[in-house]
């Protein structure tokens, strides 16, 4: 499973750094290509020469090596996964706070690949609220935490905080990559972001959707091997690699883009906040300020979700969202029924941390068989994992 996988191993200053040597050996043996980035402090614990020899590549430590600039952006793009093992308390804190004072942190901040960490520290440090907060923070960024083990610690004490054994880390990476491929051969349409409905050439009616939820779903689908077509309204998120992007402005353009591809899709997840109404006759020239009031005549847009549900074939799964402010469950269930969707994902603006613009969400999924799945407040990345696990139980 690791054959040909590119693993960027970050090593930080911890007694457990000696285990990195075993880790590299196991990864290389499993067929992975390994490159190593070390923090300056980690060199007190294990020599770069050892890790360079085992990984068969030069080990990088500084932003400048041999008078040339180490390209941190390319390293994070080269890798399929950045694995920081061991992760010290200090580097964890730097990661949580966006510090960038060494190459490892620069690579971390610019990495577009998945990031997994294997923390290593003494039990009291592990249990300290600031450590636990930092872990929560980096997992809200979408980073994966490989659980620590209980056992004898460097302090001589016994307890929690020991870095997972190299074999355990390799198993974790193996199952991480195998999870990825479960949607191979499937094509999924995802919509994201708001739509803008023109009033005149410079103004529009829009909404506050950031697109983060739809983009996170698209990323998770891609990780599991699906071909993803992401139809997005105007958002401030850079385009992810490996996803077919279709950018649209209005509800009508989003409708066109969706019907163009839906027949070839196995599923559609409609996370966009599509305008329900558009301006009936947008002005062709900028409207000048004249009267005390201005009346805009709005007309209904086509409900894309409802339309796709009306034409879907039995093998196709269509999933809608319901963003509600009141009578949440009743409204979500009404939408499930009225639109004939397979699933409706409810998020309530009443839950703090859920809804537009945030990095977190709290959802309840309803299915047409009467199933109801309630989830805690989580990062939008983790929420997408829950959504995909629910819709594709075998993935
Ligand atoms: N939706 C759509 N096309 C529209 C409006 C909504 O595809 N023209 C989809 C959204 O992408 C979402 C679901 O329908 O998946 C529910 O959107 P929402 O705005 O919550 O529901 P509406 O049906 O528009 O109802 P209301 O605004 O009255 O709550």
Give the residue-averaged pLDDT of 297-301: 98
pLDDT, residue 238, reads 81
Position 203 confidence tier, pLDDT thresholds 50, 70, 90: very high
Q: With 90 as the cut, is the pLDDT of residue 76 above it? A: no
State the DSSP H helix or E strand holding residue 386, giving kind and residue range, or none if neither: helix 380-391
Q: Is 110 within 8 Å of 78 (Cβ atoms)?
A: no
Q: With 80 as the cut, is the pLDDT of residue 15 above it? A: yes
Catalytic, 207? Answer yes
Task: Please tell me the distance between residue 29's alpha carbon and the centre of ligand 1 in angstroms.
Answer: 51
Q: Is 24 within 8 Å of 47 (Cβ atoms)?
A: no
Task: Please tell me the distance between residue 270's alpha carbon and the centre of ligand 1 in angstroms.
Answer: 9
Q: Is 290 within 8 Å of 317 (Cβ atoms)?
A: no
Which residues sit with their C-beta closer than 6 Å to ligand 1?
191, 251, 270, 272, 274, 276, 301, 303-305, 320-323, 335
Domains of the chain, CATH where assigned: 6-180 (3.40.50.1950), 187-391 (3.40.50.10300)
Pocket test of ligand 1: the residue of 206, 276, 334 to mutate, having most ligand atoms within 8 Å of its CB, is 276
Question: Per this entry, what is the length of the chain?
Answer: 395
The pLDDT tens digits for 257-268 are 999 999 999 999
pLDDT, residue 350, reads 78
Q: Provide the mean pLDDT of the chain.
A: 92
pLDDT, residue 181, reads 77
CA distance linking residue 330 with residue 367, whole number of Å: 13
Residue with the bigger pLDDT between 152 and 169: it is 169
Q: In 171-330, at which residue ranges do the beta strands (DSSP E only) sit?
A: 187-192, 197-198, 204-205, 227-232, 244-247, 267-270, 277-279, 298-300, 317-324
């Amino acid at each position: 499973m690791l054959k040909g996988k590119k693993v960027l191993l970050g090593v930080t200053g911890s007694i457990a750094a000696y285990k990195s040597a075993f880790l590299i050996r196991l990864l290389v043996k499993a067929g992975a290509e390994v490159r190593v980035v070390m923090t300056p402090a980690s060199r007190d614990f294990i020599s770069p020469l050892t890790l360079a020899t085992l990984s068969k590549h030069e080990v990088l430590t500084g932003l400048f090596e041999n008078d040339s600039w180490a390209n941190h952006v390319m390293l994070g793009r080269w890798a399929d996964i950045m694995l920081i093992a061991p992760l010290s308390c200090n580097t964890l804190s730097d990661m949580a706070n966006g510090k960038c004072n060494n190459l490892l942190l620069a690579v971390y901040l610019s990495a577009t690949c998945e990031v997994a960490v294997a923390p290593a520290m003494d039990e009291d440090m592990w249990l300290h609220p600031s450590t636990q907060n930092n872990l929560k923070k980096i997992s809200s960024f979408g980073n994966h935490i490989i659980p620590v083990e209980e056992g004898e610690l460097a302090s001589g004490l016994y307890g929690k905080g020991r870095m997972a054994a190299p074999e355990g880390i390799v198993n974790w990476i193996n199952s991480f990559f195998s999870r990825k491929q479960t949607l191979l051969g499937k094509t999924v349409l995802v919509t994201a972001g708001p739509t803008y409905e023109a009033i005149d050439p410079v103004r529009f009616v829009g909404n506050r959707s950031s697109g983060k939820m739809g983009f996170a779903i698209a990323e998770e689908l891609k990780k599991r091997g699906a071909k993803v077509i992401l139809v997005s309204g105007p958002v401030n998120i850079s385009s992810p690699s490996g996803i077919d992007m279709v950018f649209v402005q209005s509800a009508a353009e989003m409708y066109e883009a969706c019907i163009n591809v839906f027949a070839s899709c196995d599923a559609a997840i409609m996370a966009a906040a599509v305008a329900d109404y558009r301006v009936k006759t947008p002005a062709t020239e900028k409207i000048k300020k004249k009267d005390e009031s201005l009346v805009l005549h709005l007309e209904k847009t086509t409900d894309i979700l409802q339309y796709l549900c009306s034409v879907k074939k039995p093998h196709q799964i269509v999933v809608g969202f319901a963003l509600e402010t009141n009578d949440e469950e009743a409204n979500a269930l009404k939408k499930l029924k009225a639109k004939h969707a397979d699933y409706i994902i409810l998020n309530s603006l009443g839950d703090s941390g859920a809804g537009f613009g945030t990095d977190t969400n709290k959802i309840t999924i309803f299915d047409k068989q009467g199933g109801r799945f309630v989830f805690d407040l989580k990062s939008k990345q983790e929420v997408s994992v829950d959504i995909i696990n629910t819709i594709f139980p075998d993935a």
